[in-house]
Amino acid sequence: MRTANPIHPEQLRNIRQCTFGWIDHSFLHRGYLARLSSEELLLYYFLITVADKSGVSFYDYERICALLKLPADDYVRARDLLCEHGLSAYHEGVFQVLPLPQARARSAPALAPPSRRGDFQTLKTILQTLSRET
């Protein structure tokens, strides 16, 4: 496994010495980065940045829209979708960034058995079978 050394080891970030939010690596690995729209990502990253240690913040929508350069409709859509995804909660002007939803256990799709003993399936056939089942 490849490891990288810091470019500036004298300037390491330290969560104990500053107040910044974090993004769980699972955010990438569970596909949220790929699935969310640019407006959802922008709002989510903003909420992480301004939240306290409990994930709570209370910026009003006008300030958020101004800072993020988002039209109000895009902000409302992104806010509502983040709530639907279980990434945040919103109530009467208060946001809470939530822990990432638990990963759903996926059962491995069963491959169709070869028609007779000793037959092999092509990779193309296996991939087609998998894509139909997901």
What whole-number distance in Å separates Cα of residue 126 and Cα of residue 124?
A: 5
Quote the pLDDT of residue 117. Answer: 47
Domain assignment present for residue 11? The answer is no
Domain assignment present for residue 38? The answer is yes
Domain assignment present for residue 4? The answer is no
Domain assignment present for residue 132? The answer is no
Domain count, the chain: 1
Query: Tokens 């729209």 appear where?
Result: 37
Dihedral sign (CA 26, 29, 35, 37): positive
List, for residues 68-115, the tens digit of each pLDDT value: 999 999 999 999 999 999 999 999 999 999 999 886 545 444 444 444
Q: How much is the average pLDDT of 1-8?
A: 80
Quote the pLDDT of residue 113. Answer: 46
Domain assignment present for residue 115? The answer is no
Domain assignment present for residue 122? The answer is no
What whole-number distance in Å separates Cα of residue 122 and Cα of residue 118?
A: 13
Return the CATH number at 62: 1.10.10.10
Which residues constitute the domain of residue 54? 17-97
What whole-number distance in Å separates Cα of residue 51 and Cα of residue 95?
A: 8
- Taking every pair of Cα atoms in the chain, the longest distance, rounded to a whole number of angstroms, is 67
Indicate the pLDDT class of residue 133, thresholds 50, 70 and 90: low
Domain assignment present for residue 58? The answer is yes
